[in-house]
Every structure is written in C-alpha cells, then in structure tokens.
Structure 1
Amino acid sequence: MRSEIGIHFVLTRDRRLSPAARAVGSVLAILLTASTFPAQAQSKRVPVMIGGNPQFDACPSSGVVARLGPKRAEDPKSGFLSVRSGPGGAPYFEMDRLFNGDPILVCGSEGPWQAVIYPGRGQTFDDCGQLGSAIRTRRAYEGPCRSGWLHRNYVEITSG
C-alpha cells in the first residue's frame, strides 16, 4: 500500500509532468490501490431468509452436513465444508467451516445452494430463535446463531 501512495504522489504532484500525465497518473494510482484491497472486502453477502408462510416453520427442514471426505494431513483443504456468504463461488467468500455430522436448519435454496442456519460453538438450536414455528413475514435472519450457504451435495435432510 505504501508503494501505491508513493506512485500516486509522484504521478500527481510532480510539476515536471504535464497536466495530462498527472491525470493519467491519478487514474493509474486509483486502479493500483483498488486492486490491492482483499477480495473479501469486495465480496457480496446474501442473507438467509426465514418465514413468509404461516403454514410452515420459518426453516422447514433440518439436516446434517454429510458426504465429506476425511481430513488428510497432506491436504489442508480436506474434511470440511465451506459456509459461503451467498449461493455460489466468487464473489461470495468463505465465512465458516462445517464438518460431517454438524446439524443445520435448511431455510431455503437457490439452485444447488441451501440457505442454512446452524448453532455456533457453545450454542444449541434453542438459542437460534423460533425457527421451528411459523413466521408470517419473510425476513432476513439476524442471529444470534450463524447462517450462510452450503452446496446441497453435502446436505443430508433428516426431517421436513
């Protein structure tokens, strides 16, 4: 970041350069600075929606994470399922990791992606709010439990 600031200063403040060259330098410095931001800062987040049908529970299905391969010492990316910030890969980022047998509530889906809520460490589903009953108005889940998106290939529905 310090080098981008230096480039910006030289390209925009050096009076030996023409005004047009300084303008080009300013644009170049902005582009360089923007490209150094972490990808997560530029990523999107899609909330998990609950409720909206008075005939059904806010999250109508429960399940577990399943069908993951074993954790292998030689592969640090094995043995877990990434909880994503939205239904898909980029621009959505990994928010958390779940493992085989971790319990989840499935609140909806978009394509092959399941919108889920799950208890964090030290929590149970009782801490997550009234998700096992109807909520008339559809709204974004705001906690206190965790929420995100999982690929359906690794979700085993156990009820609902």
Structure 2
Amino acid sequence: MGLLPAIALALQTVGPPAPDAAPVSDVRVPMIGLEGPALDACGGIARIATYDGEEPVRERPEAGALESDTLPHRALVWLCDAEGEWQGIVYPSGEFQDLGDCRVSSPIAESRPYDGPCRHGWVMAANLQLVAG
C-alpha cells in the first residue's frame, strides 16, 4: 500500500468522537393510590419540619440522589409513598398552585406513578410533621 492510500484510509477512521449516550434517568417517581381504590390517592398531609434551613427534595429515596428542589420550613406536602426512612411526596410549586391542585385528594382505580401537575420527590421522613391522614 502506498503512502497516499494509507493516509486516505487513516482519514476515514479518524473523525469527531461519537456523542455520549443520553444519560439514563435515575428519577424514581413516588407512587400514588397505594392504599387502594377506596381511599385517597395520597393518604396524608405533612409539614416540612426542618428548622436549620430548607429540606432537600431528592429524585429517589437515597441520600446520594440528585437534589431536584428544596422546600422551606412549614411547607405543606402530600404523603404518597414510602421507602425505609424516605417519604415520597407531592407538593405544589409556584405562587399559583396549592395542595388542592395536585389531584391526589380523591381515590384512583389502581396505583401508578404520580404524573402531575404538581412537583414530586423524596424527603427524609424524620423531617416531616404529620398534619392530616
């Protein structure tokens, strides 16, 4: 093989690096309707009871999970799912949303991951104070 064909072959195999694969989502959406079709989709309401700042909301029930939001002391949240020391919550966001807008205060036919319109995530259960439920 001559020099020119070898250079042409080398140029065909060299190019920009392949794009990175899209990251796999590690988000674990809290389930609603776990208490059955006769009860509300989320069984209780709690208040954030973190006195030393804001409570981090995690994407899944693990201390190392990404933080998706923070909630201030005394913010109200729906209690929907639980795993170990973590509580799966649903909560309103923005100034034009309140707890009633989250669509979890009525029964649903079967359990499923929460799909809006409010925000959701996981917080440490020890940092919650039960209000109703």
TM-score range, shorter chain: 0.7 to 0.9
Match of 1:98 among 51, 55, 71: 71
Match of 1:48 among 30, 34, 48: 30
| 1:156 alignment counterpart | 129
Match of 1:62 among 45, 56, 66: 45
Where structure 1 has 5 or more consecutive residues not aligned to the other structure, the ranges are 1-12, 15-21, 23-28, 70-78
Query: Contact 1:63 / 1:158 at 8 angstroms: preserved in 2?
Result: yes
**Higher relative contact order (Cα pairs below 8 Å, separated by 6+ residues):** 2
| Alignment partner of 1:127 is 2:101 | yes
Query: Contact 1:68 / 1:81 at 8 angstroms: preserved in 2?
Result: no
Q: Structure 1 runs of 4+ off > 6 angstroms?
A: none
Query: Contact 1:68 / 1:99 at 8 angstroms: preserved in 2?
Result: no
Larger relative helix fraction: 1
| 1:107 alignment counterpart | 80
Where structure 2 has 5 or more consecutive residues not aligned to the other structure, the ranges are 1-9
Match of 1:144 among 106, 110, 117: 117
State the one-letter code of the partner of 1:96.
D
* CA RMSD after TM alignment: 2.7
- Normalising by structure 1, report the TM-score: 0.66
Partners of 2:113 and 2:50 in 1: CA distance: 29
State the one-letter code of the partner of 2:77.
I
Partners of 2:101 and 2:50 in 1: CA distance: 27
Larger relative strand fraction: 2
